[in-house]
Every structure is written in C-alpha cells, then in structure tokens.
Structure 1
C-alpha cells in the first residue's frame, strides 16, 4: 500500500486557495476502476460541466508541445510510438517500477495540469462543476475544491474491471490498486460518498440527490 502519512494531507473546506470568480468546485475522486467516469457522465447528463484531469494530462503532452518534448528528452525515444504520440503503456511501466521517475514526471506535469484546470473552470458559467482527479488526496489537491466526492466499489469488482479495462493480469492489477490510498483512507477527506454497486438505477439516484445538494450549496456560496 502507498505509504502516505495521513496527518500530512491537509483537508480544507472552502479554502482560500480557490481563486475568486470560480464556480463551486466538487472534486470527484476514488480508487482506480471504481467508476469515476461513469459517475461523471451521469452528472454531465444533468448539464454539469466536467473537468477531467486525465483528459487535460493527455492534451498537454500532445506531440510538439513543450511538455511532450521535455518528457522525451528525459525518458528517451523508447516511449514514443510510430504515430509520434507518447507510448503510455511503456511510460506507465517505467514510472510504476521506478519511484524516482514517477516523482519526476509528477513534479513536472502537475503544475501544468493544475494551471490548465483552473483556466477551464474559470470559463464555466454554471452553478458548480465536477472536477475529476484520480489522485486528488495523494496530491493534496483537495485544497483547491469546495467539496470532495468519493466513488467506492467492491474490491472484487474493482479488480475485475481494472483487468478487463487495461487488459492486464491479476497481479499487475492488484499492485496498481495497492499503490493508491485505500477507501478507508480516502473517507477521512470525503464530504460525500457514492457507492458504485453497478446498479444503474441506484447510481443514477445517488447522483441526482447529490446534484440537488450541490445546486443548493453553490447558491449559498454566492449569497
């Protein structure tokens, strides 16, 4: 399991770090393959803007960007596909097995991703936004949100989904899950929790109830 001292992770509601003129920000996080995208899509169906850091992370390393060139200069041409895009599978293998390289990549990309995130959020004209951040707590980015929503699912379902989604074996899937915080650790920072039992009706109901709650909260913060 990832060793992160919980008492060193700051939990702040309505933090002054959040720039002015921002919509109400609900940070959505959870373990790998817990169903974050599914939940985000349900909020999107209700008209809520979705700001996904995974998508931003892909955009900022497109070929010929500064970040793309810097990453290749650091890791070498072996992480480049014939299409000139980054070979994410090779890069993931490198950083998963070499903590120092993972730290380098995170330290390089995270400020860029956070800056792009805040630009996108400022452009939204809705009461609130859903900000999808897989490693929200690990990176201490919860301080940039008004509220933290965590998605959880049963461990056996999570393992099977990850194997199928990424086409990987069981051992690698287990190690990827263990490299993150546990659900118990994340709950210490949660304002709200969605249980993803993979029953569509139940999941939709949970999202709708939270949507009503977030509309009310966003209204109160603007008064």
Structure 2
C-alpha cells in the first residue's frame, strides 16, 4: 500500500486529466473518481438502481445505461436534483477511491477527485496527506468546457456555477498547478511535484518539507 496519498482536484475543464496522465507516465498509481463513478452506474449495479428509483427510468437510454446527457441537463437545472444524485453517488465513490488507494503500490498514490471541495474537502477525505489543485482562469475554463463538451454557453455557465468557486478550491490547496498555458508545459511542472512527493513520502514521520506553493 502507498502510505502517502495526494488528492488531485480542480474545476471542470481545468486540465486534471492531462495532469493525471503526466503523473501516470512517471509510474504513479492513480485512483480516478470519474472512472469509479462510471463503473458504479453500469447496468445491474446498485447505484444505477438507486438512480432509477429516484429519477425515473427516463434517465436510461435504449440500452439500459445511464443517459448522461439527460442526467446532466436535469441536475444542472435544479440544485435539489443535483444534491440527490450526489447523495447516491458520492459515498460509493469515496469508498471506491479509498479501496483503490489501499491496494496501490509505490512511493505515493494519487486520488483524482474533481468534486473534492464540493464533497466535503479534507473532512470527507481525512486520509489524504496533501491536496494538489489544478487552477485555471474562469474565462479559459468556460471556453474549454464549451469546446470539449460541445455545450452552449448557458449550460456551461450553469455547470461552472454548480461547482465550488475557484477561491474555495484554492483555499484547500497545498500545491497548485496553474494551467493557463500550453499542454507542453505541464510535464515539467508535474515532474517537479513528483520529486517533491517522493521526498515527502520518504520523510520521517513529523518531518516538515514545505516548498513554496
């Protein structure tokens, strides 16, 4: 088991996945909340049954799978509906992340948790040793989201408004990657943090190694 655990988070379309892949390329074990979230709503899974009970069979596509586009439209139009979905999914996602981290090997492991701030922050994930936030200006984030998900600006703005603010995420950060440049810049930033995390993972209990953020 990896004894040193990093929580990786950031707003939608901030570049978390690119940062995650850069860490994985360095041999770091990754537990991804988005992948776990997809697995737990596969047909036959208890979470999908709970979703159908709460939201109705119209949230399923013709193959009996979760219709993600329909669900997205519904929950981002109504905070009550969004909270209901989170109440079904988040406890199961946290459990899956913890199990994946417990089985990871290496100097340290990363848990990618897009909704870490919204899901309770450090109090919900007390087993994280450090939190890394991928930060991006809101205007850049909005443009990337519209392009990536092929959604119009009103929906993209609702999606951003439904998440924690940039300041709220940064308040949790031990480390920050500002992803406002080209993708080619990220591997070097990740390599610097990888060296830091390996140093911290090998430090004696109680030792403090606090670099500039």
Normalising to structure 1: TM-score of the pair?
Answer: 0.85
**Offset at 1:192?**
0.4
**How many aligned positions are there?**
203
Residue number in structure 2 paired with 1:195: 178
Alignment equivalent of 1:85, drawn from 65, 85, 107: 65
TM-score (norm. length: structure 2): 0.89
Aligned to 2:36: 56
Gaps of 5+ in 1: 1-20
Matched, 1:33 2:13: yes
Q: Which of 124, 137, 157 is the equivalent residue of 2:104?
A: 124
1:96-175 paired onto structure 2 within 5 Å: 96-142=76-122, 143-175=126-158
How far apart, CA to CA, are the structure 1 residues paired with 2:35 and 2:204? Answer: 28
Query: 1:118–1:100: structure 2 CA closer, same or farther, 3 Å change rule?
Result: same
1:221 to partner: Cα distance: 5.2
Conservation of the 8 A alpha-carbon contact between 1:197 and 1:203: no
Shift in Å, 1:22: 5.0
Conservation of the 8 A alpha-carbon contact between 1:150 and 1:194: yes
Any gaps of 5 or more consecutive residues in structure 2? 207-213
Structure 2 SS opposite 1:150: strand
Change (3 A) 1:26 1:221: farther
Determine whether 1:73 maps to 2:53: yes
**Aligned equivalents of 1:196 and 1:59: distance in 2?**
28
